[in-house]
Structure 1
């Protein structure tokens, strides 16, 4: 059997009861994180402009757009959700190949509204989409300048949609084949709206692939050749059979996903964790700090942006992020505004931060052991190193920590009552037979 044959049978045959309990819990936690991302992302410039674009089309009012307060065609709702989930910079990723949950949850919740899915069906389709995406996408493409997230994410979206549509194995194979032909994404777009449009396109195109496969259209689901061709001419060797090793066993690759705690590029998060620790342990702030040195690998070096040109660029700037930490002891969405970028406090702090590239480290996301060196004005120097951020597989978050993140990133959109009610639904999603009331709350917050 080919890899696609094995994946298609696994997806078609797997039921909610086949999914390990700890995976069900983790998928529910991930869903809460991305619902929060879509809600806060609906208030970003990119989110509002995309909603404005879709409204102008005056298409059919089928399903709701999360946080936006209006109905539109299913594929448009999925596209906007894909934008908002990423514009908030709160996606959760597998590493070193950065496949992400923001090509799964923006798809499944509008489909739940369209198809009348139960909570168990939402969890099952999401878990399978994440699992297959993480398996096919375990091979980093960053050495080619590609962004793994949308490139592999379109397959996760197709599998998620295909399961929700109850496609048979042959249809699932064709959906994967069609979606592979839509794969795209480039690191050069980091710090621009194109970065968000790429992942939103993966959401929409994955859904389209499943809908077309349902109608009998075909693709070539030769995953082995697709991946080998992608790696052709490189010094990297891959074993595509790893994709199906242990498939359907007790250990799901969903758990390889790292949780993103701060609304900025994930490549900065290990250093953020270390900087927060230093500020707390040393009881220091901006006035005590002479210099901050950041050590990274060749891909993470893309976040060396000494003078960020706009709020999106600032989300990818070590200099701006470290300035916020030194000045305010925190990093939050309000740090990425035109007003903050023009604030002389921040502009004067940027030069205190330098970034050193280590080209000998692997050319992949989160490569090497991240290092930060903080030089204090009293002559002391504090050095920390970290391989994995808090929220990675080695340092998983608790349910209380997920709830804290949910409240932090929905408080500007939901009322306290809505926050608690929607959190309770997501925490007990497998018990929900009718999603209508919940979906109404997140589509029309405050109404």
Structure 2
């Protein structure tokens, strides 16, 4: 039996909400609220409609709600669908190891509805899953742009299995088996960013976590050395000498990190754009700059930046991963919105013209300023009258991080708009009231009744 694996499993079993800081509970309650809105908006998108139709045709024992779908199905299938819809717009939060809430919330809701869990049970399991995923990530030198596997999928499956095991009250041996089972489930490739398959990565991670915990509960046995073995999960994904198994457990819950790391999104596009967008939009507002005044915009990017995948996007989804397109949007139309990321919009002649004003400057691998992907994105606006204005917003100061909060008005406004894409107006208000304080809900099924919708 692997010592690392056993220690992680015991931590999952022995940790309770009573030992978790109140700030962590507060932040996760916010994250859940935000994610429900994003999922309802995602259910109305093309990929959302595809995965909703898939679920209807597949059937399944009606034990878990499909948010915005108007039906129930099996817990594993509900997790797949809700996770995919939750990531459909790339409008869900980030932090720790990728996009945590679009994996952990579908996982915990699917299991939670089946067993009648409370809101506090959901929050507890979410936090435990998040911390396990973060411990695995921080103990490695994993970089998705180097290894090629989406970090949300790599760490999300393990985090989801931990959360599902906690909700099912598995014992340490069963929990270890759940983690061992999910270790054999695959991860999504980065090349599928900018397609409908990227959201599927989150859905698959959530489904895998549910399946693994349920199989372990029924007695399925996996290797107990899935982390320490050179033929195990860590070595396969991280590579030779790129991880530390002792570090995986050294800081678990000591301290908790979720309350520092979750960041919400103001814009429905890849988070790699957000430092640039905050800086650029601030310059335009502060100096009252119009599009007609601009001669050009210079944007710095790391050679590893995910938002350089599509220099000239051909689809709306590709546009979410194009720093050139998002820069053009900002100078031409202001802050990016959901309607800006359609196949028709990226072909708009006005935006095509605006993209010609954008100049990308790539920081090479060997440049002294290339220390990682989370460096501030420097942006410079050059005006036709010769003036220039520059700004570089640090990642921790992007609006809607824990260090620079968006505020209640921002979070609520985002929820109300997103939820309205799948729910009638009166139901949106009811859902907002309940989901904003989900920790007060005694049975999660009553809250899910408000957001299942009618599949319109």
> TM-score range with shorter-chain normalisation?
over 0.9
Instruction: Name the counterpart of 2:28.
Output: 27
In the alignment, which residue of structure 1 is the partner of 2:132?
132
Deviation at 1:412, TM superposition (A): 2.7
Counterpart of 1:189 in structure 2 is: 192
SS at match of 1:300: coil
What is the Cα deviation at residue 224 of structure 1?
Answer: 3.7
The Cα shift of 1:301 comes to 5.0
- Mapping 1:43-82, distance limit 5 Å: 43-82=44-83
Paired position in structure 2 for 1:394: 403
Residue 112 of structure 2 corresponds to 112
What is the Cα deviation at residue 51 of structure 1?
Answer: 1.1
Q: Does structure 1 residue 258 correspond to structure 2 residue 267?
A: no
Alignment partner of 1:137: what SS? Answer: helix
- CA displacement at 1:329 relative to structure 2: 1.4
Bigger drift between 108-117 and 352-361 goes to 352-361
> Which of 337, 360, 377 is 1:370 aligned to?
377
The residue number in structure 2 matching 1:141 is 143
Could you say if the C-alpha distance between residues 99 and 4 of structure 1 is closer, same or farther in structure 2, counting changes exceeding 3 Å? farther
Of stretches 237-246 and 268-277 in structure 1, the one that deviates more from structure 2 is: 237-246
Deviation at 1:18? 2.0
Superposition RMSD in Å: 2.3
Deviations 1:77-116 (A, max 9, x none): 1111111111121222225x43522110111122222211
Query: What displacement does 1:317 show?
Result: 1.4
Name the SS for the 2:87 alignment partner: helix
Q: Distance in 2 between matches of 1:56 and 1:40?
A: 22
In structure 1, C-alpha distance between the alignment counterparts of 2:167 and 2:371, rounded to whole Å = 33
Rounded Cα–Cα distance in structure 2 between residues aligned with 1:440 and 1:275: 41
145-154 vs 367-376, greater mean Cα deviation? 367-376
Provide the residue aligned with 1:94 in structure 2: 95
Does the 8 Å CA contact 2:423/2:453 hold for their aligned counterparts?
no
Aligned partners of 1:131 and 1:254 also within 8 Å: no
CA distance in 2 between counterparts of 1:319 and 1:390 reads 21
Instruction: Provide, for residues 206-264 of structure 1, a one-character-per-residue CA deviation record: whole Å limited to 9, x for no partner.
Output: 11111111111122343244424544357xx5433232233233533453232222111
8 Å contact kept, 1:267–1:365: no
Residue in 2 that maps onto 1:274: 279
SS in 2 for 1:255: helix
SS of alignment partner, residue 267 of structure 2: coil
Partner of 2:256: helix, strand, or coil? coil
Structure 2's unaligned 5+ residue stretches are none
Alignment of 1:28-427 (within 5 A): 28-94=29-95, 97-98=97-98, 100-138=100-138, 139=140, 140-142=142-144, 143-222=146-225, 223-225=227-229, 226-233=233-240, 237-253=242-258, 255-300=260-305, 302-303=307-308, 305-360=310-365, 366-388=373-395, 389-427=398-436
C-alpha displacement of 1:363: 8.3
Question: Residues 373 and 382 of structure 1 are in contact (CA less than 8 Å); yes or no, is this contact kept in structure 2?
Answer: yes
User: How far is the alpha carbon of 1:321 from its aligned partner?
Assistant: 1.5
Tell me, in whole angstroms, the C-alpha distance in 1 between the residues paired with 2:313 and 2:13: 47
Question: Cα distance, 1:4 vs. partner?
Answer: 2.0
